[in-house]
Amino acid sequence: MITSLISGLFADNSEVANRPADALNTPQSLYDFKVKSLVGNKTVDLTQYKGKKVVILNVASKCGYTKQYADWEKFNKAHGDKVVVLGFPSNNFGGQEPGTSEEIATFCSATYGVTFPMFEKVEVKGENKAPIYKWLTTKDLNGWNDKEPSWNFCKYVVDENGKLTNFFASKTLPTDAEFLTAVGL
């Protein structure tokens, strides 16, 4: 546990990537995806977020970055009318999200008061990568980006038209100037 926590603190590399002006326009967008909710296993059509910016996070409950739940919840409460935060639990890094959907939901609610939408646990890298993460990390599908999450709490920003615009590594917080510029705040 301590080893994975320590390695997590150094896994960030503070990467940032921004959509270049000459990025390809692709037929696929965020709105082509349907995902399962964390609680109740309901299908959620992401078209409901048209007209808003969206921040997609891969999250974990036993990570050195887990305290970011509080930062993202505060951001969500302040800006959720313009920028939607979506959480996708993942156990890809150091086994830091081992819980069931119910355990994850309880932890997020009880520990950090999370109210932003959370979805079923997915793989964010590798052979069994979830379709939404295939889109986020495949240049041919999103027009420009091939950066996979390097650890928990990486961020992908999607614009009001469903196009991927930015990638931020784990250390980036919702109060960081470059992130705020990316979401237009």
Sign of CA dihedral 43, 47, 52, 54: positive
Architecture of domain 2-182: 3-Layer(aba) Sandwich (3.40)
Q: Pairing relation of β-strands 164-168 and 155-158? A: antiparallel
SS3 116: coil
> Which of 66, 48, 31, 54 is closest to 158 using CA atoms?
54
Q: Above 90 in pLDDT, residue 7? A: no
Nearest 5°: the CA angle 155, 157, 161 is 155
- Lowest mean pLDDT segment, chosen from 23-27, 114-118, 130-134, 156-160: 23-27
d(CA 164, CA 1): 34
Q: Give phi and psi for 70, each to the nearest 5.
A: -65, -40
pLDDT above 90 as % of the chain: 85
Active centre residues (catalytic): 63
SS3 106: helix
Residue 58, C-beta contacts closer than 8 angstroms, at least 6 positions apart: 88, 89, 90, 92, 124, 133, 149, 152, 153, 154
Mean pLDDT of the chain: 92
Contact indicator for 139, 145 with CB cutoff of 8 Å: yes
Q: Above 90 in pLDDT, residue 102? A: yes
Q: Above 60 in pLDDT, residue 8? A: no
pTM for this model (two decimals):
0.91
Which residue ranges make up each domain of the chain? 2-182
- pLDDT for residue 24: 78
Q: Give phi and psi for 161, each to the nearest 5.
A: -100, 5
- pLDDT for residue 12: 52
- pLDDT for residue 27: 82
Confidence label for 65 from pLDDT (cuts 50, 70 and 90): very high
The amino acid sitting at 168 is: F
The amino acid sitting at 46 is: L
